[in-house]
Homo-oligomer: A and B are copies of this chain.
Amino acid sequence: MSQTAAPVPDWVRKLKPSGPQGTELLANERKQSSVNVEKLSQFMFGKDALERKQKILKVLQAEKVFNKDQDYFDGRVDKWEKALARAKRMNQIYTKYGWGDLDKRVAYDLISEPLPYALHEGMYIVTIRGQGTPEQHKKYLEPAVAHEHIGCYAQTELGHGSNVRGLETTATWNEDDKTFTIHSPHLTASKWWIGSLGRTANHACVMAQLIIKGRPYGPHPFIVPIRDLKTHKLLENVYAGDIGPKFGYNTMDNGFLLFNKVKVPHDAMLAKFSAVDPKTSKYIKPASPALVYGTLTWVRSNIVLQSGSTLARGVTIATRYLAVRRQFQDRDAPEGQKGENQTLNYTMVQARLLPLLAATFALHFTGKSMMELYEANQSKMQSRSSNTDDSPSKRSAGPEEVNAGSDLLADLHGTSCGLKSLCSTTAAEGLEVCRRAMGGHGYSAFSGVGSWYADYLPTVTWEGDNYMLTQQVARYLLKSARSVLKGNDPTNDTTEILQFYLKRQDTGAAFDILGKDEDLVAAFAWRSAYFTFEALRARDQEKKSWNSLLVAFYNLSRAHSQHLVVKNFYETLHSHSISTELDPATLGLMHKLFRLYALNTLVSESSEFFTSSACTVAQIRLARSKAVMQLLEEIRPHAVRLVDSWDFPDWQLNSSLGRYDGKVYEDMFYRAAELNPLNKRIVDPYPNSPVLFREGGNGPYADILKSSPKL
């Protein structure tokens, strides 16, 4: 179709926004603060990572297929087509440049949309590597690495998500010919939500209930070809496709998959940990379920690590825009300072945005600590066991929540579940707060926040639903509390806190939350311990049903995890490295951000703090009406520089409102007037005319309208 929009007339091209310009406003913002952006970025990410990002950015920006101009306009099919083109090109690029895992992750981060090979690389290959035998590596891993097999990881079903043990797909061992029959007995057995399966994959790693001689052995992984390697058509007795559009994540072909008694050979079952002995038809048990358990912890820890930067994108965009956006005069402003006020100056905006700015740092430091904890535990475990195949880069993926024998992992497990739930919820909900704080323009796709939010949302559900996960945390805390009550010595931070509470509960707490940072942390610990023992009493003494306590468990997990975040932020600020890397002024500001995060959280959860006597009603009132408001005022002048330290390139943000240079309105206008394909269509606006478009081509709906009977 030869479509041309009305060209932008010269008189329009000459127009500028009314002054002061966004560029000046942001320049002033940066002038009024002394935060050392470069040093702060380096402290957060390390110099290497910052340089790596610039190097990769340059490569991607030069590629036409990664041009983001049309990203917000494309419909589902175009979006996905483009994503496939990008996935292919990415593969060509990283092969050519020899990029490693770290480079690839940076590249995907900059591209900022899920690509169709993601599950091939992130789950299919990883699972075969982690759970396959050397022979299986030869047969399945090598062609996968060479991209001759394109795979996916098929676990979730139409009828079963969180409850992996309830999966319906079966893999029945055939003693006679030493094969397995993969079968979907019901419609609800259809695999569902499987990334890269809908259109891309020709192989699937299928989690199916292993059945030997009529006896079930739980879900196990099987490698099953699903599409012809040459024609890419579905193989016989396999039915698969894309599950359709979603609230976000539409660049991914999440798919469905059904089997009608498909036979696969004995070596289709990944057999490193458990297997069927082909001679005896006996089941061989997994040697160490703890390893699988560790893998899920790694996945969750990564979600925690990414939650800070996920939220920071929204906060960056909103902070810059709200420093450029001006609306109304300040009613009480002195005569000389009339003129419209930057919206970032309104306390109602600050109260929504600046605690989230503080949260970005809190989550980031927590994520880093979480990963360190994970790695420390891995080392310990590896020095104990001879198994060495569960390093993060070679992680295996397997059945959900196999109960670990290892106590060592229990703490890490509880921590990662609670933090995954809290941090991803904070990031998701925070992004929407940022979007709304931007008022009308926040609703435009060009804000860049809506699609980012929509793509992120599955994170609150997958790798453990954020509500469900809190049961794991509660279980861990109850167990810890029982151990402390028995008089066992504390073995970690959690049990220490519980023991401290027990010793002090008759004396009561007297934390100087407004005066001392360490007391603020202690108040969070106290509240968490208080509710742990409350829950324990309800369960063990009052014998309340598990179901009746789920809400209490959710709240308990949140209390515990908020304490962890506050503590991690506090400890980072008292680490040796920060005092050597940051100048005193910037470090002082980070302390204010810590206090803002902690006090603002305390205020929003105030009823739990006074119920547990972690602080007094008077303290809460002072925190709300004085301390938080004071901190907002003190942090406000540094907001733009603080978001700058997150170091998001404009190309990554792809946002009119979040531009580093403040050219917000120019960019909005450019995208609307010059990039928008709808403007290439000239309509026929009259209701009785059956033509829809006079220029630019009529689509399927014009035909439908035309064929409607005359009334």
Contact = CB atoms under 8 A, between A and B. Distances in A.
Contacts of A64: 704, 707-708
Contact of A705 (B88, B96, B188): B88
A248 B443 CA distance: 8
Interface stretch (A6-14, A172-180, A412-420): A6-14
Interface string A388-402: 000000000000000
Contacts of A548: 347, 629
A446 to B, nearest CB: 6
B439 A237 contact: no
A309 interface: no
Interface in A238-272: 239, 241-249, 253, 256, 258, 260
B85 A692 contact: yes
Contact of A547 (B9, B200, B330, B700): B330
A468 to B, nearest CB: 8
Contact of A193 (B163, B260, B440, B620): B440
Nearest to A543: B332
A92 interface: yes
B258 A12 contact: yes
Contact of A683 (B166, B186, B199, B450): B199
Contact of A708 (B89, B162, B348, B610): B89
Contacts of A234: 6
Which of A200, A620, A687 is the most central at the interface, judged by chain B CB atoms within 10 Å of its CB?
A687
26 contacts: A6-B234, A8-B239, A17-B188, A18-B159, A75-B77, A75-B78, A77-B681, A77-B699, A78-B701, A84-B701, A85-B692, A92-B708, A188-B665, A201-B685, A202-B685, A231-B694, A232-B682, A246-B444, A247-B454, A330-B545, A331-B547, A347-B548, A347-B549, A348-B467, A348-B551, A548-B629
A665 B12 contact: no
A346 interface: yes
Interface in A424-458: 432, 435-436, 439-446, 450, 454, 457-458
A445 B147 contact: no
Contacts of A545: 330-332
A65 interface: yes
Contacts of A6: 233-234, 239, 241
A108 interface: no
Which of A249, A548, A701 is the most central at the interface, judged by chain B CB atoms within 10 Å of its CB?
A701
Contacts of A103: none
A550 B345 CA distance: 11
B445 A244 contact: yes
Interface in A505-556: 545-552, 554
Contact of A669 (B96, B187, B549, B702): B187
B156 A241 contact: no
Interface in A259-311: 260
A375 to B, nearest CB: 30
Interface string A680-692: 0111111111101
A87 interface: yes
Given A247-B445, A440-B161, A687 B147 contact: yes
A676 B184 contact: no
B18 A188 contact: yes
B554 A348 contact: yes
A550 B241 contact: no
A711 B467 contact: no
A237 to B, nearest CB: 7
A158 B200 CA distance: 42
Interface string A104-118: 000000000000010
A248 B451 CA distance: 11
Contact of A163 (B328, B347, B693): B328
Contacts of A671: 244
A274 to B, nearest CB: 24
Contacts of A549: 347
A646 interface: no
B467 A440 contact: no
A189 B18 contact: yes
A684 to B, nearest CB: 7
A462 interface: yes
A5 to B, nearest CB: 7
Contact of A15 (B186, B243, B450, B454): B186
Contact of A244 (B150, B199, B260, B446): B446
A612 to B, nearest CB: 11
Contacts of A583: none
